[in-house]
Structure 1
């Protein structure tokens, strides 16, 4: 049984202890959440939300504008489960000043609560006491809000960042495409007061940090001392950087290894997009790949014992999961012993069982893997209906 604690200012029941008395020490949240596996918590101005591992959302605290999504405006002193009109698996929930945003595993955005500045993104300024879809045709992979502002932001699968709400005094009633590449920048540039969760450089434009300089020199013909040749294409790198950043290369570039004396090393185990993404990750700490290519990078990360990269690949795959590729991703997770990803894909398949069993990927699954899935799905109630 999971134990979930909270404490602090509690005038509206936002601690979830069943009273409005302030709590100066950690206190167990009311029993409705104690038997659940809570995977994330979000706090607004005077309300709170919890997301459980099965995609259910619970809210408690102040509800004067419907930010708990319960269909009313009554405060809740204990966690109360939010029920959507249709069965939906939520993978992220965030709270703004008095509104709430949620993202489903299908990349659909939902919003509810205060909307006096258009922060729900539904094209008007009417408050909503139940979840409504946000008007965008793109599949979203990230949604962001802040307890001190009436701004909302989201990032699409293609990497585009949208914002809406009270942006520098102007009300944007629906998602507005920005030039940003990170949702953090929306709040740093447009909220009042500005809010930031990471460092920003305030140096002159012609100054580059160490990280920026390293990123700039990736695949540079002018400064590199080594090339990897993959699928007939060259990737220019620096031995010193690879040795510093990766144990695999630290071992490879020892004096008694043949690779240490080579100027060009051929790679035939992995595709060009995958190997290039891996090398670029060593220079930037970031990965930019489609979910299908991330499977190959997950294979590489497993082979090279790069645990952090393995986690990044799993996050990319989770954000890109769909009915059509769910069983393909589940098979990959099992093959590369990515237990967290395997559980995520399994739950997605169970939650969309009828649809995923109609796909080609389902019928192409390995026999033993298919049997294991059916047995496990049966044990978790996947066939109860």
Structure 2
């Protein structure tokens, strides 16, 4: 399969189809010139041409299902994510009767499915009697089965077998929502945008359905239904609607908070008032929250899978790492002659128990354990001047509590993180713009900051199999904006320009490369 015909993991869409989804016609033309086919089907049995003709599949509504003496489930299409409920990963070109639920001992009859909610990655089957079955990809706990394992065939969710009777289900991209007969709301899955409504951190994952506490207000006792978008959730009645999750306009609330973690209601007239004057808190000056520290933590925690090019050995324990980060952040490694010639570096006279915290400081610029004289000695050995100052402030009080605690600064101190173009000798990949300009880059930065590049440089993609150059159907000036954001967490060129065409091009590129923070900055 050629590079232009490769599909993205979980979306299963070819590059050509993705370019048409995002409206990037020049990229689509470039892909077709390089062998992409309009008539090639993706795993959902649709072509890129189908994407042009229709953006959604027809919805079939069966009324009066309660009067049926027997209900049947039919399936067809792609089963790449196990969401058809069949163990074999095969597409179904023709509809086929699906019956693997067996009998219900409580009702002494076959399980009757009367509602199905399907996302790209998982499916929920609601049975008469209130039971819920789930199948698909379990990442994040979206199946509600207490594990993140994939489930090829439907399995009942335990809490809806005995404790609660479910009357409605809904699926988002990474989460599920449930409504019970007693008007209780449950959710499970990833909470990256607060879409679970449980006041949890955005890094939390809920593996079994957890109750959402909806505030007592008008319409609370008459909740009629639930719904999910990819990254947000809705609870509604005839008089009130609660929304939560990703807040980029789809929740009906004022802009300001990017994530709403708890159900929040506004009267329809209030949340849709187009004549409302902007307030001081929402005047467009909101600054997008940086994810750089979080991304650097991800890079360190998953260093072994994210293109490590050096291994540090402390007391026999191996720590995979990245030359760019070490040499940019640490004078000791910049001056170490072995950095450019050896794959393994042995660090003598250091503790393998304290070194992970030193390494975390080098990557993230913070200190994660109690200060000690030994830690200060290691910081001095590695010439980490800002960390030495931080630990010295504790040393003055014999490492007892210091009030207020000193701030930990990046070493060397500066406003940015990295500068694209620096350390070009360590570059291990080159990005090519559609007009032929070359941008030497470092895989570790691209993979840490963008899920798109993490997938691209995976061994299952052609780009991950020893290629040194990767072509992107994106203009050079837009790629430079993307790289300024990836390396330095900067989007000044977007926020300060009045060129709407350029901003639109940046938004399209950010969407294609899954850079949500850059996309948000371009919309403000």
Q: TM-score range by the shorter chain?
A: 0.3 to 0.5
Normalised by the length of structure 1, the TM-score is: 0.44
Normalised by the length of structure 2, the TM-score is: 0.33
